[in-house]
Structure 1
Amino acid sequence: NFVEEKLGSRYKESTRMDLAKSYEGSSPATPVFFILSPGADPPEDIETLGKKLGFTVDSGRFCSISLGQGQEMVAEEALEKATRHSHWVLFRVIHLVAKWLGTLEKLLEQYSEESHPDFHVFISAEPAPTPEKHIIPQGILENSIKITSEPPIGMLADLHAAFYRIPLNCVPEMWNLKASFFLLCYFHTCIAGRLKFGPQGWNGRYPFSARDLAICVAVLGNNLETPTKVPWEDLHYLFGEITYGGHITDAWDRRLCCIYL
């Protein structure tokens, strides 16, 4: 309260990442590097920006690859193809392929020369727990635009984030369903917020994300298009048992999720 009264609310509220502005500063020689944090979902932000600019998976102009054992050659082929056809490519969790990072550094330097301006590379990795365990090559870090997005703090901030991350045009006439839309966002905020409390929140570490909320919003709109009886039982099952419940492995956690719903 003291900070808000003396300096203003802008010093208290967390700022949102504006990927569009960071993209403007990137280039074929300047990748965008996402430093992962709990609750952040860079692929969704990139896909949202890509839809606005015409780089989508369906059009073949965007490729996302999760790095891991045996994916190095797939990543190299995707990078070479993106260079030739001026596409976007996203390499996720590159810290899992430490031995390949030197090759990636050389390829990024090689393909950055004389590439089309539309060619862009996005990278994500978890931060090293200690300086001694740092494995990302210095060349990649120095040439990249580094972005980190801390999860919102508090129920109100989580709720604002839920509204912010869902494009309202994903469901026709969504504003006619404001009450149901709000309740769904509130439900998402409650169960995702419990992850911050470790084993006191959930018995397992479940990957709830804004993508789950977006799916539920689309399902909600499809089931409420006609002004007939609301299929509450069907929606309860789709949300609690399939979309969110699909992440849950513990019976008590599943019961708690359905109680919240």
Structure 2
Amino acid sequence: MSIVNYMYQTSLVQFLERFDLSMARSEKSPVTTRRISFINGYLTYEIFKYKSRGLYEKHKYMFVLLLALKIDLERMHITHEEFQNFIKGGAALDLNTCPPKPSRWITDLTWLNIVELSSLRQFQYIIQQVITNEKMWKTWFDKDAPEEAMFPLNYGSLDVFRKLLLIRAWCPDRIMVQSKKYIAQSMGTKFAEPMLLNFEAMYFESRALTPMICFLSIGSDPTPYIEQLAKRQEFKCKSISMGQGQEIHARKLLVEAMNEGFWALLQNCHLSQEYMQEILVLFLELEKGGTFNKNFRLWLTTEEHEKFPISLLQMCIKFTNEAPSGIRAGLTRTYISMNQDMLDYSDSKQYIPLIYAISFLHTIVQERRKFGPLGWNIPYEFNSADWLASCLFLQNHLDEADTKKGLSWTTLRYMLGEVHYGGRVTDDFDKKLLNTFCKVWFTDHIFAEDFCFYKGYKIIVYKQVTEYLEHFKSMTPTDVPQVYGLHTNANIT
């Protein structure tokens, strides 16, 4: 993965640590073959979790798909020719040397993919079948979700991977949806679901001389989560934002933290590459023999930088703090960070549904960012601080509201659309869109039985955070673009 992104450096030592862990924790069996199978299964998922935690969202899917393909190649469940067909399609073919297209509605690239697909045994007759059954293929091709529809002719009997090859040839925009089915069947459903970052587990996994480094992206600053974790673990956490002239203060902070046993957080380390090399040398010397408090922890945040010391990256526990993909994952992440006291705060019947509505809005505004300029004209750094500020305002507003007049929707919509979330929005059309979400959702109708954000997405009311987390497990892991107020073709981007 370091070819994809320079920062994705992993050492053999880190892999061997995962291997030893798998040997110790995997299920035992007196039968050698079963014992090996248990170790392999545990190790595979352990490596998946460890690597996925340190990848940007856009690369996590690529990693797990390649993992599934490589394992199935080794198992001989798929052939090398099928693997190459999936990777390359018909890109190497020349249209002039291929059989002529039967109709103009089939694009040149699609036809090249089909011709290349015909070289595989299961698809050897597909060219003639497309020519003789053109209407049937077009009907299937025009479906919004062809991977969910009945496949033409006898192709519905194919296994998930061979259906993926067919989807790859005909509908490249639907590859991700079908490949998630393939990953779930080949590796297990837990590999196809978004990984949620667990700061507490990461902390317990770390040691004093194992720095933890976050790769930054828009709206993914982990500082509030690190400070909350330090408070729960009863440690001090002091931070410094790196930049010109900050090395002196950082050195002093590091010495104090190592001696006293508190946490040091160095932010924006890409701005101080020379000092990163200094930290590497310091830690290597301490490993050989040095005095330090075992409670000491070093947290780093950085953007991508090709001059970041490789050895330091290989020694770190790497993570990203991006919002996970999908409504289910987004809501789960929000409610995991919520304590029970927040749900118990108010006796008002309006309170819990509105907390859920704010959480849903929070997920939507973050998810739209992943559609590029179709989602927002300008990418904004919406983060958990916006959600928390909105929830705290709701608490204060309900406390101060006149019991006879009730909740002021105008005030709530203004604070959400113009202050807490809207305060980040600078584009006029983006501001209009955000306020439209607020006007449509935050009204008296939100408490009606027939209210839904989009069909299938209703207000969920529970009294316990654990009940919400259990409910989210039953939600669909993938969402159509219409949930976010986008056209179905938005996925093509």
What TM-score do you get using the length of structure 1 for normalisation? 0.83
Match of 1:84 in 2: 259
Q: Does 1:243 align with 2:415?
A: no
How far does residue 158 in structure 1 lie from its aligned partner after superposition? 2.2
| CA distance 1:71–1:205, change in 2 (3 Å) | farther
**Deviates further, 46-55 or 207-216:** 46-55
Distance 1:158 1:83 in 2: 36
Q: Does 1:152 align with 2:329?
A: no
Residue by residue over 1:39-97, the C-alpha shift from the partner in whole angstroms, topping out at 9 and shown as x without a partner, is: 54422321221121112xxxxx2112222233222222222222232210111221122
Aligned Cα root-mean-square deviation (Å): 2.6
User: Rg bigger for which structure?
Assistant: 2
How far does residue 196 in structure 1 lie from its aligned partner after superposition? 0.9
Q: Would the aligned equivalents of 1:38 and 1:151 in 2 still touch at CA under 8 Å?
A: no
Distance 1:193 1:20 in 2: 25
Distance 1:126 1:52 in 2: 27
Q: Higher strand share goes to which structure? A: 1
| CA distance 1:168–1:218, change in 2 (3 Å) | farther
How far does residue 124 in structure 1 lie from its aligned partner after superposition? 1.9
Q: Would the aligned equivalents of 2:195 and 2:324 in 1 still touch at CA under 8 Å?
A: no
Q: How many residues align?
A: 251
Unaligned runs of 5+ in 1: 56-60, 129-133
How far does residue 109 in structure 1 lie from its aligned partner after superposition? 4.3
% identical aligned pairs: 29
| CA distance 1:174–1:153, change in 2 (3 Å) | farther
Match of 2:354 in 1: 180
Question: For 1:211-222, what aligned pairs fall within 5 Å after superposition?
Answer: 211-222=385-396
Q: Does 1:167 align with 2:371?
A: no
Residue by residue over 1:122-173, the C-alpha shift from the partner in whole angstroms, topping out at 9 and shown as x without a partner, is: 1122334xxxxx2221332233222345542223322332323333434652
Amino acid at match of 2:245: G
How far does residue 214 in structure 1 lie from its aligned partner after superposition? 1.3
Q: Would the aligned equivalents of 1:172 and 1:221 in 2 still touch at CA under 8 Å?
A: no
**Deviates further, 137-146 or 179-188:** 137-146
Amino acid at match of 1:15: M
Question: For 1:35-54, what aligned pairs fall within 5 Å after superposition?
Answer: 35-37=215-217, 40-54=220-234
Q: Specify which of 310, 314, 332 is matched with residue 138 of structure 1.
A: 310
What TM-score do you get using the length of structure 2 for normalisation? 0.46
| CA distance 1:6–1:210, change in 2 (3 Å) | same
Match of 2:366 in 1: 192
Unaligned runs of 5+ in 2: 1-177, 439-493
Q: Does 1:28 align with 2:208?
A: yes
Q: Matched residue of 1:233: which SS?
A: helix
Q: Specify which of 370, 376, 380 is matched with residue 206 of structure 1.
A: 380
Residue by residue over 1:198-251, the C-alpha shift from the partner in whole angstroms, topping out at 9 and shown as x without a partner, is: 222212121101121011112112222367211322222222211112211122
Higher relative contact order (CA 8 A, sep 6+): 1
Residue by residue over 1:15-37, the C-alpha shift from the partner in whole angstroms, topping out at 9 and shown as x without a partner, is: 22222222123222111122335
Q: Would the aligned equivalents of 1:171 and 1:221 in 2 still touch at CA under 8 Å?
A: no
